[in-house]
């Protein structure tokens, strides 16, 4: 498993998927469906054919989910 450098301000699809703990394919599908984990998928940028995710956007997307004390919460 590779360690993602969170000091990097932008991620490609593979790096963003690792950061969010999803597969790259799941993140690609979320760009089509607009949903990821039952919520609106994180925003991304297209530069030509390249897809770029901003670290700040991914961090904000993750923060919408509350920490759970146990599975019954």
Q: Please list the residues that pair with 54 across neighbouring strands.
A: 10
The model's pLDDT over 45-60, given as tens digits with 9 standing for 90+, comes to 999 999 999 999 999 9
pLDDT score at 6:
60
Structure tokens at 19: 């950061």
Query: What span, in angstroms and rounded, lies between the C-alpha atoms of 4 and 66?
Result: 23
15-18 contact pairs (CB < 8 A, 24+): 15/53, 16/42, 16/44, 16/53, 16/58
pLDDT values of the chain reduced to their tens digit, one per residue, 73 residues: 556 656 789 999 999 999 999 999 999 999 999 999 999 999 999 999 999 999 999 999 999 998 888 887 5
């Amino acid at each position: 498993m590779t360690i993602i450098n969170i000091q990097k301000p932008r991620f490609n699809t593979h790096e963003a998927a690792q950061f969010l703990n999803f597969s790259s394919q799941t993140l690609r599908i979320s760009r089509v469906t607009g949903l990821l984990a039952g919520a609106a998928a994180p925003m991304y940028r297209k530069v030509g054919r390249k897809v770029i995710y901003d670290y700040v956007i991914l961090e904000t997307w993750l923060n919408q989910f509350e920490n759970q004390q146990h599975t019954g919460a």
